[in-house]
Amino acid sequence: MTTFTKISENETPTITVNPTARLSKINPNIYSGFTEHMGRCIYGGIYDPGNPLSDENGFRKDVLAALKELNIPVVRYPGGNFVATYHWLDGVGPKDQRPARPELAWLGTETNHFGTDEFLKWCEVLGTEPYFCFNFGTGTLDEAMAWVEYCNGTGNTYYANLRRKNGREEPYNVKYWALGNETYGPWQVEQTTKEAYAHKAYQWAKGNIHMYTASPDHLSNATAPLAAERAIEIASSLIDLARIENGVSPDEPRPTICFDEWNVWDPLRAEGRFGAEETYTLSDALAVGVFLNVFVRKSRDLGMACIAQSVNVISPLMTTKEGIIKQTTWWPLLLFSRYMRGWTIAAHVSCGTYEGETSPAWLRSAKDTPWLDASAVLDEDGYVNLVVVNVHESKSFKANLQGASGPVSVFTVTGSDVTATNMKGKQEVGIEESTWDGHDDYEFPKHSLQLLRWKA
């Protein structure tokens, strides 16, 4: 974790990193992904048969190559709001016999040409674990059990044999299953109460947390992911409370939290019914960096986190007929996926804070919003990796960085200003590499994310 002390604006910031203080192991699943039948995420995104850039399965090879760079451990499917009216049997068997259905979440038509077997084959090609979400809205327990049998059954049973008939002899061994999606929301088909959900979940199981943030104001936008940190802290406390009140033995493993949808998303700027194709800015990239800092800081509590979504729909990766575009938000995600693994280590930041309005408004009274947002890890190779996001739009900060020893590799994500984007025909935001000798104070540039890496 990273602790924080507020100091005046005219004092020199200090960042202290202690690689000997390993606090908690980081679950690699915090770098997971998410695909949903929404907009161009599936059709024209990961699946585009007939395109010369696709393989014999119809999978976009350029998308696969890019996603392999992230070493994604788990991908969630098929929703999302979509799942509340999705019936998995519509999406298996011969494609010409699969029914097209009205799609009620995003107001389209679902052809079902891409379904369970296609997704599981795609996961195998990508080298990731699948994570299925049950239809907890219009679905039934029988339907859910049949899906598990289809995917994992080994016996001479109906749905295991149906899988074999459809061309897959061996079971897929799907490990991760979720009970519905955002059933608390009025936008959800079969919205329910927490009491009714708990009763139904108990029967099916014999939560998850979702959060999107966005603001047209840069500082509100970049600090908004700190609301996720407070949500994780609250959920963690509720887990402890439930264990205490129900007399759960301390020998029972403590459940971890699955943060299975997160990202920057302004539904007014990128409407879901029109495909939710965001044009991300440098400000959004810094917000993604703060989100990921939160997940590293809270590694004790997190078992999984899934960025929504993997391609085209509120995504760091966009496809065209000719290729792919890596949005501004791709670059912090790449750095964290590559380097921020291992153990969360103790770090302390002393600096000034942003004092303006926050989004959500309650964040102002619930969390500090420092100019320098940081997390630190010790990886398996004995390197310290420190990420610092300077959210200040116009001010660089020269800080006393204690615990670093040169040579230090530096990876910087920034741009000309916080509105810089990669979606206007030119890559304005990427990764710049440099080195620092580890001496004297270090200057963190305005509106930037930097990863500093050195041997412990």
Which pLDDT score, from 0 to 100, does residue 124 have?
A: 98
Residue 254's pLDDT is 92
105 CB neighbour count, 10 Å cutoff: 24
- Tell me which fold the domain 2-455 belongs to: TIM Barrel (3.20.20)
Cα–Cα dist 350/8, whole Å: 9
Is pLDDT at 152 greater than 60 in this prediction? Answer: yes
Q: Report residue 190's pLDDT band, with 50, 70 and 90 as the boundaries.
A: low
Position 14 scores a pLDDT of: 98
Q: Please give the distance of CA 279 from its chain centroid, rounded to a whole number.
A: 18
190: annotated active-site residue: no
pLDDT, averaged across the chain: 94
Contact 61, 55 (CB under 8 A): yes
Residue 173 has pLDDT above 70, yes or no: yes
Alpha-helical segments (H) within 298-431: 330-339, 363-366
Does residue 156 surpass a pLDDT of 80?
yes
Residue with tokens 């005219």: 10
Does residue 206 surpass a pLDDT of 60?
no
Asked if residue 182 has pLDDT above 80, the reply is no
Model confidence over 317-370: pLDDT tens digits? 999 999 999 999 999 999 999 999 999 999 999 999 999 999 999 999 999 999
What per-residue confidence (pLDDT) applies to 105? 80
Contacts of 433-439 spanning 24+ positions with Cβ under 8 A: 433/409, 434/410, 435/407, 435/408, 435/409, 435/410, 436/406, 436/407, 436/408, 436/410, 437/406, 437/407, 437/408, 438/404, 438/405, 438/406, 438/407, 438/408, 439/406
Percent of the chain whose predicted confidence (pLDDT) is above 70: 96
To which residue do tokens 């750095």 refer?
335
Give the pair of three-digit tokens for residue 291: 């989100």
Strand, helix or coil at 434?
Answer: strand
Give CA separation, 165 vs 130, 143, 159, in Å.
21, 19, 9
Q: What is the pLDDT of residue 189?
A: 72
The confidence band for 139, taking pLDDT boundaries of 50, 70 and 90, is confident
**Tokens 């949808």 correspond to what residue?**
261
Distance CA 244, CA 83 (A): 34
Cα–Cα dist 275/265, whole Å = 12
Asked whether residue 119 carries a pLDDT value surpassing 60, the answer given is: yes
Q: Name which of 80-84, 89-93, 198-202, 380-384 the model is least confident about.
A: 198-202
Query: Which residue out of 36, 110, 229, 261 is catalytically annotated?
Result: 261
pLDDT at 387: 98
How confident is the model over 161-173, as a mean pLDDT?
Answer: 97
Asked if 65 contacts 319 with a C-beta cutoff of 8 angstroms, the reply is: no
- What is the Rg, in whole angstroms, of the alpha carbon atoms belonging to the chain? 22
Q: What is the pLDDT of residue 187?
A: 66
CA atoms of 72 and 421, how far apart (whole Å): 24
**Cα atoms found within 13 Å of the Cα of residue 113, Cβ hemisphere only:** 13
pLDDT the model gives residue 205: 61
**Is the separation of the CB atoms in 276 and 105 below 8 Å?**
no
Single-letter residue type at 292: L
pLDDT of residue 204: 67
Ordered DSSP codes for 308-342: S-SSSSS-SEEE-SS-EEE-TTHHHHHHHHHH--S
Determine the average pLDDT of the residues in 60-74: 98
pLDDT of residue 112: 97
Out of 182, 229, 278, 428, pick the active-site residue.
182
**170 classed as catalytic:** no
Give the Å distances, CA to CA, from 341 to 7, 338, 405: 30, 8, 20
Q: Is 190 helix (H, G, I), strand (E, B) or coil?
A: coil
| pLDDT at position 208 | 54
For residue range 389-429, list pLDDT tens digits in order: 999 999 999 999 999 998 999 999 999 999 999 999 999 99
- In sequence order, what are the residues at sequence separation of 6 or more whose Cβ sits closer than 8 angstroms to the Cβ of residue 66? 317, 324, 326
Residue 146 has pLDDT above 90, yes or no: yes
Is pLDDT of 207 > 60?
no
Model confidence band, residue 379 (pLDDT cutoffs 50, 70, 90): very high
Q: What is the pLDDT of residues 71-83, one digit of tens each?
A: 999 999 998 889 9
pLDDT at 355: 97
Q: How confident is the model over 102-108, as a mean pLDDT?
A: 85
Question: Is the pLDDT score of 199 beyond 80?
Answer: no
CA distances from 234 to 185, 209, 219, 263, 375 (A): 19, 11, 24, 20, 20
Assign residue 431 a region: left if phi > 0, alpha if psi is -120 to 50, beta otherwise? beta
